[in-house]
Amino acid sequence: MGPAASVFFQPSEGWVGDVIPFERDGEFWLFYLHEDRDDPMSGTPWSLVATRDFVRFRDRGVALPSGGPDAADFNAYTGSVVEDGGRLHMFYTGHNPRRLGPDGVTPLQLVMRASSDDGGATWKKHPESTFGAPEGLEPGDWRDPFVFRASEDEPWRMLLAARHAEGPERRRGLVAQMVSDDLIDWRPAEHFWDPRRYVTHECPDVFQWGDWWYLVYSEFSESFVTRYRMSRSPDGPWLVPDRDTIDGRAFYASKSVERDGRRFFCGWIASKEGAADDGAYQWAGTLSVLECSQNPDGTLAFAGSQEDPPVIWPAVIEKAYAQMEGNDYGNIENWHPGGAMNTFSGDAGLDYVPDFTGTDIDTLADDFESGEAITFSTPPNGDDNEKKELIQDNTLVSGHVYFVTSVDRENGTVTVRNPWGPHTDDIVMTIDEVNDNIAAVHSMDLDE
């Protein structure tokens, strides 16, 4: 399937529940609990949507199906994905309302595992790896396994949303912990965090950023918010920042993923009954992603990109422009950037074609130093690129647009960037390479 049509992704049939983000080879895999609200229930699978920029999404359908009406994983609920030795391991919560715990009333919750040896194309379930809550913890609250390793020479850890079997009803919540040397056999360990607060602490997530460790959890209470704690060690003590929430009531079950030093929190915005503002919140809704920044004191901030200007905006603007042009990316492929810049600014700007008129370093330097925005367009896909050496050696991409970040008049070079994000490198071109490889130059004074 092609890219989804909305910044806030939602499958064509159903809603996005808890998101389990995983990064591989620069691509974000966003597994999510696919909620269809069938009556009777048909079982919850893990579906998968992939993205590189959190703007364009490719829906890959069901990744892990429901086990069926009689299986322990009739509902495949939240968990995590890790990679070890080339094998992917998926840990998830198995739940079936027909399988009851010792009290004969509460359905069991179980930790279950699947693995993939083909890069996530297919997953094999391992029912023999299933286990429930140890003694002293409620068997009906044993979910959301999050697996990580604090260092390469330490065992794997599994954190779980759990509850003490005894104590005040609304203050039994804790983050339980299991450990393993091989991701297959697990043994109980000291509780990871046991504040004796709230019903449970759902969807635990732990990561290190610089000198700080962070514990993220979703508070199962009347507040229903995602919070975080911070520590100098993965074993605590966990400090409470003044502003400890990730967002508000409607953004829930947020878990994080990192790429190139940037961290993103992925959760869901709840839909409301009757699609009305005054309707009651429902479970599941649309995907929402927040980028996180780290303050000097270690606290977290949730706002725009850390880049100036925010690097996600080129992708957002491109998507908006595609929607304006018939909601189809195909309508803006090989599109001249002047058209888009004119749409957003009202200024036609200046175009010239190096192949025919040539351009010189002084003209580019004068335009750049006067504050004009300058873009370079490469030849369209499929054109004869015999002399386009920088395209043939993959320095440039055909049918693409780059923006100029500096012009060095003295050395006769121009530096451009790919708007795909901060993981792309600067490209320095001589003025001869500009004339030989660029199909069109567009400049515009955005201040007018």
Dump pLDDT digits (tens) for 418-434: 876 555 678 999 999 99
246 and 113 within one domain: yes
Domain, as residue range, for 87: 15-314
Q: Domain holding 234: CATH number? A: 2.115.10.20
**Cα end-to-end span (Å), the chain:** 41
414 and 275 within one domain: no
407 and 281 within one domain: no
Residue 1 lies in a domain: no
Q: What is the pLDDT of residues 192-235, one digit of tens each?
A: 999 988 899 999 999 999 999 999 999 987 778 999 999 999 99
pTM of the model: 0.71
| Domain stop point among 282, 314, 346 | 314
429 and 297 within one domain: no
Q: What is the pLDDT of residues 388-399, one digit of tens each?
A: 677 767 788 777
Q: How many CA atoms lie within 13 A of 68 on its CB side?
A: 2
372 and 303 within one domain: no
* Count, residues in the chain: 448
Rounded Cα distance between 415 and 296, Å, is 31
The closest of 204, 116, 127 to 161, measured between CA atoms, is 204
122 and 70 within one domain: yes
| Domain stop point among 314, 346, 376 | 314
User: What's the token pair of residue 62?
Assistant: 């069901």
Rounded Cα distance between 345 and 76, Å, is 49
67 and 153 within one domain: yes
- Tell me the residue type at 6: S
Residue 5 lies in a domain: no
84 and 220 within one domain: yes
pLDDT at residue 305 tops 50: no
Residue 270 lies in a domain: yes
Q: What is the pLDDT of residues 349-397, one digit of tens each?
A: 566 666 555 688 998 998 888 888 888 888 876 555 454 677 767 788 7
The closest of 50, 9, 48, 45 to 26, measured between CA atoms, is 50
Residue 195 lies in a domain: yes
Residue 185 lies in a domain: yes
Alpha helices in 176-265 (DSSP H): none
